[in-house]
Every structure is written in structure tokens, then in C-alpha cells.
């Protein structure tokens, strides 16, 4: 059983990173490959990914997470009928673990159905199956709910600040031009529901850039 891997990122794709661990390359599927980076931000530094190891008849797959909390929530999501590893990874790409956990505890089906691959019935199953298992989780989002805020009612941040500003900075750091980043922002703006993490916005922008490059 593999609990975690520590190494350097040798390659990235839209769904996975290749983690070089002492000369061996491990393909690790994750919520946002472009957010997997050393804590000090320096290229070539070591990263730690917490691993869920899945064995299938046709493949052995590694799913990686940047925190224990993310790993724990992923494994809980797999307990819900209709949610497999790829859907669970998509859910984690759509919001912070504590935000998702809070939505489940609050039975906020409207918020959960905004997550990738989740319909109303699956959202209801998530609440039924996991609500009582998330009692130990604490989150500032619960305090917001108690103050009269709803996770599902958060307005989308303008494309000049917040998560988009950080996502745009990440795109520029990856070598994209200002114009390319702005085009990606314009493309994804209609898809933003509010409350998305920087990781989620960055992944959407990268997907938009890839689609735009294929249309040239």
C-alpha cells in the first residue's frame, strides 16, 4: 500500500502529473495538476502527494492529493453509490474540501449539484451517506451559514480579483501571454457559479486554452 510519494514534478497534463521519485516516474491523477508545486514555489523542488492506490483488472491507478484532508474526503466520496474515482477527483476540483464537507453537513443539495458530474439524486445520496461521517470536520463556511449565508448563493467574483487573479498569475507563470490568459478568462466566465477555488478556476482556464489551441 502506498500512503504518500515525495519527489519532483517531471511532467503535467490536464488530469495528472508525473512524479519523479528517485528516477522512477509515477503517473498520479489529481484535481488540479498545475497547482501541484513545492511550498516555497521554486521550480524543481520536492512535493509530497498523499496517495489513494486503486487496483483494477486492467490497471493500477494512483490518485494524489496535496493534503490529508483532501485524501480523506476523496475516500469518503467513494463510499457513495455512483461516485467513482474520476468523479470524486472532479468534485475536489470544484471546491475546497472543507466547503464541500460543509455543504454535505448543511444538506445543501443546490450547491452540490454545481459540482462536476453530480446530479440531484447523487447529491442527495452524498448527504444521506456522508452527513453523519463528517461531524469532526470544522470550517469557516459553517460560521458563514450560521450568519445567514448560503454556500450555493455565493456570487461569482469579477474577473479582476479573487480566485481569477491568482489563476491568471498562475497562467502567466506557466508561460501564457496576457492576451491568452484574458481570452481564457472570457471563455470560462459563464461557467463560474461562485465559490470556486483558485485551483478549480486555473484548471478551467487551462482546459479553455487547450480547446482554443485545437481550433486554430
Same domain, 149 and 73: yes
CA distance 176 to 192: 21
pTM of model > 0.75: no
Dihedral sign, Cα of residue 171, residue 177, residue 182, residue 183: negative
CA distance 183 to 94: 21
Among residues 46, 65, 84, which one ends one of the domains? 65
Length of the chain: 216
Same domain, 84 and 143: yes
Count of structural domains within the chain:
3
In the beta sheet, which residues pair with residue 170? none
Query: What torsion do the CA atoms of 161, 163, 167, 173 make, to the nearest 10 degrees?
Result: 70
Residue 15 is given by DSSP the state S
Same domain, 99 and 145: yes
Contact 164, 157 (CB under 8 A): yes
Same domain, 115 and 182: no
Shortest CA distance to 134 belongs to which of 105, 94, 99, 95? 105
Print the domain residue range for 29. Answer: 4-65
Same domain, 196 and 140: no
Same domain, 145 and 73: yes
pLDDT tens-digit profile of 80-128?
A: 999 999 999 988 887 778 888 988 999 999 889 888 889 999 999 999 9
pLDDT tens-digit profile of 24-43?
A: 999 999 988 888 888 766 66
Same domain, 134 and 174: no
How many C-beta neighbours within 10 Å does residue 97 have? 23
Same domain, 77 and 134: yes
Mean pLDDT of all residues in the chain?
81
Q: How far is CA 46 from CA 30, 67, 174, 184, in A?
A: 17, 15, 18, 30
Same domain, 77 and 133: yes
Amino acid at each position: 500500500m502506498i500512503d504518500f510519494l515525495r519527489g519532483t514534478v517531471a511532467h503535467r497534463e490536464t488530469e495528472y502529473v508525473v512524479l519523479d521519485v528517485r528516477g522512477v516516474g509515477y503517473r498520479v491523477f489529481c484535481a488540479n495538476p498545475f497547482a501541484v508545486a513545492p511550498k516555497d514555489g521554486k521550480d524543481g523542488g520536492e512535493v509530497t502527494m498523499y496517495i489513494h492506490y486503486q487496483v483494477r483488472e486492467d490497471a493500477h491507478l494512483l490518485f494524489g492529493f496535496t493534503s490529508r484532508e483532501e485524501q480523506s474526503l476523496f475516500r469518503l466520496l467513494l463510499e457513495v453509490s455512483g461516485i467513482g474515482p474520476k468523479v470524486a477527483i472532479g468534485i475536489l476540483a470544484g471546491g475546497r474540501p472543507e466547503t464541500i464537507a460543509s455543504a454535505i453537513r448543511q444538506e445543501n443539495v443546490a450547491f452540490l449539484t454545481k459540482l462536476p458530474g453530480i446530479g440531484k439524486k447523487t447529491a442527495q445520496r452524498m448527504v444521506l451517506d456522508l452527513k453523519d461521517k463528517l461531524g469532526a470536520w470544522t470550517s469557516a463556511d459553517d460560521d458563514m451559514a450560521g450568519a445567514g449565508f448560503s454556500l450555493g448563493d455565493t456570487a461569482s467574483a469579477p474577473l479582476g480579483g479573487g480566485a481569477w487573479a491568482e489563476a491568471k498569475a498562475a497562467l502567466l507563470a506557466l508561460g501564457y501571454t496576457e492576451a491568452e490568459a484574458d481570452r481564457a478568462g472570457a471563455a470560462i466566465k459563464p461557467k463560474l457559479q461562485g465559490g470556486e477555488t483558485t485551483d478549480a478556476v486555473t484548471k478551467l482556464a487551462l482546459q479553455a486554452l487547450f480547446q482554443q489551441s485545437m481550433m486554430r
